[in-house]
Amino acid sequence: MASPRVGSRGDKEASEILLSVSSWCLCSVGMMVFNKLSVVHFPAVCFLVALQMAFCCVALLCFAWRWIHIGSIRDVLRWSMVTPFFSGMLLTSMLALKNAPMSLVVVLRCLSPVAGLVVESFYPRPIQVNAGMLGSIFLMLAGSTLYASRMPHQHFVGVGWALLNAALAVGDRLLQRLMLAQEQQPVDISKTGVTLLNNLLGLAPVLLCAFFTQEWHAVPELSDLNGLSCGWILASCIVGVGISYTGIWCQSLISATSFLILINVNKFAIIGIEAVFMSKELTWAQVMGALITIFGGVTYGKAQEALSEKEAEPLVAKPAT
């Protein structure tokens, strides 16, 4: 019989996982919604992203400095390869949201495993593929095709940004996996330190983009921002810190594949919010296409998880004859 201490420890771990997952889901949905609302009131995209990154850096240095560990300058230099992808991913996400509905960004991001699958085949330990993963990819492609076939022409402006965002997201994920996974070539930096470096090093290219595009002309005067506008911007900054922390929290408690499934499941809520409360142009065919694509992303994650569990099964030694 298990002792009460063991049982209470298991309940505590389950409660912590439930709390971390719930917190991340709320932050993830909030980040997408608040970014969509913030970019309407603050059209200077580069400065808005820079503001969010600076806010995150200050928050981490003030409240999470104990958990920041950076091994060496060499580790920082290696991790700096992630910076262009991370900052570019944030910028292109904002630009896509500025020119297209949230569902478009969600649908195209669901297709990122297809590109990731190709790149990861060249890794030192390449990813394996099963029939379930291939079937899921077919679902994602079919759903995205249905979504795009009913998309209004004015939203095609955001397609380019959304595609670039998906490509940068793949590069960001692959590089982070290469430098964080123990079976690859990890850096000696804590997850909190990685979060700080992403935002701190990412400030330079974002501000450089603002300089070359002369975006300061689009920065609204403080007098032009009402209380609601400031509220959306502040909320996006706060939730940005929250999603950084809860993402690290979740990844420390559940597997990377489970986290991928969680990301895809969470997108159902984003589609629901936009279809019911925000977008008046989103057709039911687009909603169905988006849901099929997200479902394909979920089944892809489950198929990948099943393959990983199969590979991890210990080999049973045959008895000597």
Question: How does pLDDT run across 72-82, given as a tens digit for each residue?
Answer: 999 999 989 98
Q: Taking residues 13-17, report their average pLDDT.
A: 74
State both tokens at 184.
Answer: 């690859």
Cβ of 90: how many Cβ atoms within 10 Å? 26
User: Which among 56-65, 156-165, 184-193 has the top mean pLDDT?
Assistant: 56-65
Secondary structure (3-state) at 70: strand
CB 75 within 8 A of CB 130: no
CB 245 within 8 A of CB 198: no
Query: What pLDDT was estimated at residue 260?
Result: 59
State both tokens at 9.
Answer: 């420890």
Query: What pLDDT was estimated at residue 134?
Result: 83
Predicted confidence (pLDDT) at residue 3 exceeds the cutoff of 60: no
Predicted confidence (pLDDT) at residue 4 exceeds the cutoff of 70: no
Rounded to the nearest 10 degrees, the angle between the axes of helix 45-63 and helix 4-41 is 150
CA neighbours within 13 Å on the CB side: how many for 64? 22
Instruction: Report the distance separating Cα 55 and Cα 199, nearest Å.
Output: 9
Query: What pLDDT was estimated at residue 182?
Result: 64
State both tokens at 189.
Answer: 């930096």
Mean pLDDT of the chain: 78
Cβ of 7: how many Cβ atoms within 10 Å? 11
Instruction: Report the distance separating Cα 273 and Cα 96, nearest Å.
Output: 18
φ and ψ at residue 84, rounded to 5 degrees: -60, -35
Residue 39, C-beta contacts closer than 8 angstroms, at least 6 positions apart: 45, 48, 94, 97, 98
Q: Taking residues 282-287, report their average pLDDT.
A: 80
Task: Convert 304-317 to b/e letters by CB count within 10 Å (16 or more is b).
Answer: bbebeeeeeeeeee
Distances (CA, A) of 96 to 56, 119, 246: 22, 24, 25
Query: What pLDDT was estimated at residue 43?
Result: 84
pTM for the whole structure: 0.71
Secondary structure (3-state) at 313: coil
Instruction: Report the distance separating Cα 279 and Cα 299, nearest Å.
Output: 27
The sign of the torsion formed by the CA atoms of 57, 60, 62, 65 equals negative
The sign of the torsion formed by the CA atoms of 65, 69, 70, 71 equals positive
CB 180 within 8 A of CB 186: yes
Written as one string, the DSSP assignment of 161-192 is HHHHHHHHHHHHHHHHHHHH-TTS---SB-HH
Predicted confidence (pLDDT) at residue 248 exceeds the cutoff of 70: no
State both tokens at 222.
Answer: 């403080």
Query: What pLDDT was estimated at residue 255?
Result: 56
